[in-house]
Amino acid sequence: MSATKEALIRHVAPAYRWREDFPILKQQVYGKPLVYLDNAATSQKPASVIETERRYYEECNANVHRGVHALSQKATDAYEGARQKVARFLNARSAREIVFVRGCTEGVNLVAQSYGRTVLKPGDEVLITAMEHHSNIVPWQMVCQQTGAVLRVAPINDAGEMVFEEFERLVSERTRIVAAVHVSNALGTINPVERIVERAHAVGAKVLLDGAQAVPHVPVDVQALDCDFYAFSGHKIYGPTGIGALYGKEALLAAMPPYQGGGDMIKVVTFDKTLYNDLPYKFEAGTPHIAGAVGLGAALDYVMGIGMEAIAAHEHALLQYATEAVAGIKGLRLVGTARHKAGILSFVMDGVHPHDIGTILDHQGVAIRAGHHCAMPVMDRYGVAATARASFALYNTREDVDALVAGLHKVREVFG
């Protein structure tokens, strides 16, 4: 056995244990075992997360912060305990730097409207990359329209890598905000975020990183990155839907006005004026998704118990295996071949629409995503309307890849 194959087996083997923690993976689809490869859209949930949410509703469901009764205090402890877990997971300096949001999208919008709308002036520039998800494009278009700022876009090459020389050229004294995806959802590219932050800070610009696709796959240390803002969604990292977190440096968050008004983001309200609450509560108007936050805390417990380095090594080995396995399929072309990638394979097949690929694979029990992946400018860059996308998680195995490949050969048989 070759050293390469031994390494693949060593890194993939733990997945057979991890997948036992995910009840949904035990089911069948069209009489075949479920092979779930749509993890970039949303991941499945381990039993510990499901049980934690169930136990929250059974044992301590109440509103947080304002109650003096025992259930409210228990709920508050659980909610704030989850915030502490997010802070540890990202290595934030303080839990005051963690704002609970509905997901990465709301986190980006919060920064765009609360920070961007405050500091941007006509002629200022916001710089993004050509591989961004719509959630990291549209909010900046909106705030540029509101302020007169200009949106600039750093290009990507044929491999799906940001052209860093062009990025450097676009950064100037007019650049106020750089917003970049850490890992591309459409291509799998891992961006050189440390270099992005360093270059932006050299001209005094602030940096927001979209971490939705990064946090399930690679270790994230916001202090080491020195980014100003970092947003992610819970449902990508084995947690509930409708919950996520925004990290922001405390001094920046303290200076920013609230994003929304309502209960719990205030200290005092009169008809003349309102005194806003302390960090991070001034950004959390209304009753939050308490159970979601508690479930997210359980999900982070789960991945930290395994270790992000172990997860990254497993998924890297699986991506290598899958990349080699699909290379022999007639008429298949990968879209996104960056040197540094997370566990995403986007591809097209000659003469077959991605939706047809997805439909045939579904009847083989294999769940993938087909479409533009909320990254229409990426599709335009490659001259395609859509791609098929297989995306991996810690519970995927080589057998899952083999089932994908067998299904793709079936697609080729059907379409000739």
**Residues with catalytic annotation?**
374
Gap between the Cα atoms of 141 and 296, Å rounded:
30
Residues in the chain: 416
The number of helix segments (H) and strand segments (E) in the chain equals 16, 17
Residue 118 CB: number of other CB atoms within 10 A? 12
**Distance set, CA 398 to CA 39, 47, 245, 367, 395 (Å):** 16, 23, 32, 15, 10
Q: Rounded to 5 degrees, what are φ and ψ at 183?
A: -130, 130
Q: Rounded to 5 degrees, what are φ and ψ at 220?
A: -125, 125
Question: Residue written as tokens 């927001």?
Answer: 208
Q: Are 266 and 274 in contact (CB under 8 A)?
A: yes
Angle between helices 308-326 and 290-306 (to 10 degrees): 80
Both tokens assigned to 363: 């009847």
Which region holds residue 377: left if phi is over 0, alpha if psi is between -120 and 50, else beta? alpha
Q: Which long-range contacts (CB under 8 A, 24 or more apart) does 117-121 make?
A: 117/143, 117/146, 117/147, 118/256, 118/257, 119/176, 119/177, 120/144, 120/147, 120/148, 120/149, 120/176, 120/177, 121/147, 121/148, 121/149
Q: Rounded to 5 degrees, what are φ and ψ at 130?
A: -75, 0
Q: Check whether the bond before 280 is cis (ω within 30° of 0).
A: yes
Element containing residue 4 per DSSP (H, E): helix 3-12
Q: Which long-range contacts (CB under 8 A, 24 or more apart) does 59-66 make?
A: 61/290, 61/291, 63/287, 63/290, 64/287, 64/288, 64/290, 65/264, 65/281, 66/264
Q: Are 137 and 210 in contact (CB under 8 A)?
A: no
CA 132 distance to own-chain centroid: 12
